[in-house]
Structure 1
């Protein structure tokens, strides 16, 4: 059962602001932490695949799908972006969907809104990459510079931020509701073919998880 949610992004972000990134020690030696899935992810994985704002990266006919809940000012999200990008480039049967979950305050929400607005001119993934590859926290001043560097028409972006505000709000709220329903404690968090993996991991672990899923082996 999906619990009742706080109807305000700011309230939810404030409640999560003190949370540390989700189990960032997954990157250590050993097996990545795999948690028992709550009903929304165990039986509703297909529902999580429907993102009204951002397209998939990778294969249309993928056999493994990674859904990532990320914040542009989460350092572990930035590390995982690089790992996933490398795997995605080498794996023709993989697809990836990112969901903006802005839990690190107002600047993160501004960045998420800007990335989603850039999607109306086909630039979401270019902006996502620019924000994730930025080596430090993204500031309000840097957001505009990074947007421009990603090829975004800033005048159109401002128009889309205003005219599509309701749609952008809906996407951010939906992402937050999904994350809260699954009991996520922070970013990054990944759902891989229905398995919940909170925190990051090195490329070798990610590839091992993908290989086990393809051979039908359990992750536990």
Structure 2
């Protein structure tokens, strides 16, 4: 797992949540019944890759500069394949410095143009995330860079609030870095394989 390079904020976590976090098995840590999990899933500002009414929701905490995130994203996409009953809820968590933060802001600023899924997937494939790359990705995804710049200015408070909320959630979950995943009600951290994703998806279906 890519280590967290920014200072960890002090967050008060209730005793009940700490007990939930201690419940674990070989597939991850159970968050069943956690009020935090419900709050995370109900975040209407977090972009989704897939249907809102999908049977299985996978929450992803990610950073575009994290190489493990890039590798795991390929396995996740392969595990889902053409299954339209699985949706990904993306939590932008740019912890690896200003370049990561800029990329996350730009990605979130494309949501109103309806191109976030394409931009998100494209950025996860780029090793270099300079300004030219960001512009090229937005335009190649069918968006307007000028509109992105306007959104970054006009919705700065909203974007900042989303990023801050994602960070608070990640710290409350006990994530030590990116990537982090919640599949159904199971939290897993770090490198995750296609096979494991499929197991977690099936287990979530079996428990519903």
**TM norm structure 2:** 0.81
CA contact (8 A) 1:13 1:102 kept: no
Structure 1: any 5+ residue segments left out of the alignment? 1-11, 17-30
Which stretch of the first structure deviates more once superposed, 207-216 or 93-102?
A: 207-216
* CA shift for structure 1 position 196: 0.9
Instruction: Give the 3-state SS of the residue equivalent to 2:95 in structure 1.
Output: coil
CA contact (8 A) 2:49 2:89 kept: yes
Change (3 A) 1:211 1:52: closer
* CA shift for structure 1 position 209: 1.6
2:117 is aligned with 1:125: yes
Out of 158, 161, 164, which is 1:167 matched to?
Answer: 158
**Number of the residue aligned with 2:53:** 61
* CA shift for structure 1 position 32: 6.0
* CA shift for structure 1 position 147: 2.1
* CA shift for structure 1 position 46: 1.9
| Partners of 1:59 and 1:148 in 2: CA distance | 24
Change (3 A) 1:152 1:45: same
- How is 1:139-154 mapped onto 2 (pairs within 5 angstroms)? 139-154=130-145
Q: Deviations over 1:33-56 (max 9, x none)?
A: 51354x9x8233221013343442
| Partners of 1:96 and 1:122 in 2: CA distance | 16
* CA shift for structure 1 position 215: 2.2
| Partners of 2:143 and 2:5 in 1: CA distance | 27
Out of 178, 183, 200, which is 1:209 matched to?
Answer: 200
CA contact (8 A) 2:103 2:134 kept: yes
2:175 is aligned with 1:184: yes
**Number of the residue aligned with 2:13:** none
Report the count of equivalent residues.
189
2:29 is aligned with 1:35: yes
| Larger strand proportion of the pair | 2
Q: Deviations over 1:58-78 (max 9, x none)?
A: 244322210000000111111
**TM norm structure 1:** 0.77
Structure 2: any 5+ residue segments left out of the alignment? 9-24
**Number of the residue aligned with 1:116:** 108
CA contact (8 A) 1:54 1:124 kept: no
- How is 1:6-17 mapped onto 2 (pairs within 5 angstroms)? 14-15=6-7
* CA shift for structure 1 position 178: 0.6
Q: Output the aligned Cα RMSD.
A: 2.4
| Partners of 1:201 and 1:191 in 2: CA distance | 12
| Partners of 1:52 and 1:168 in 2: CA distance | 13
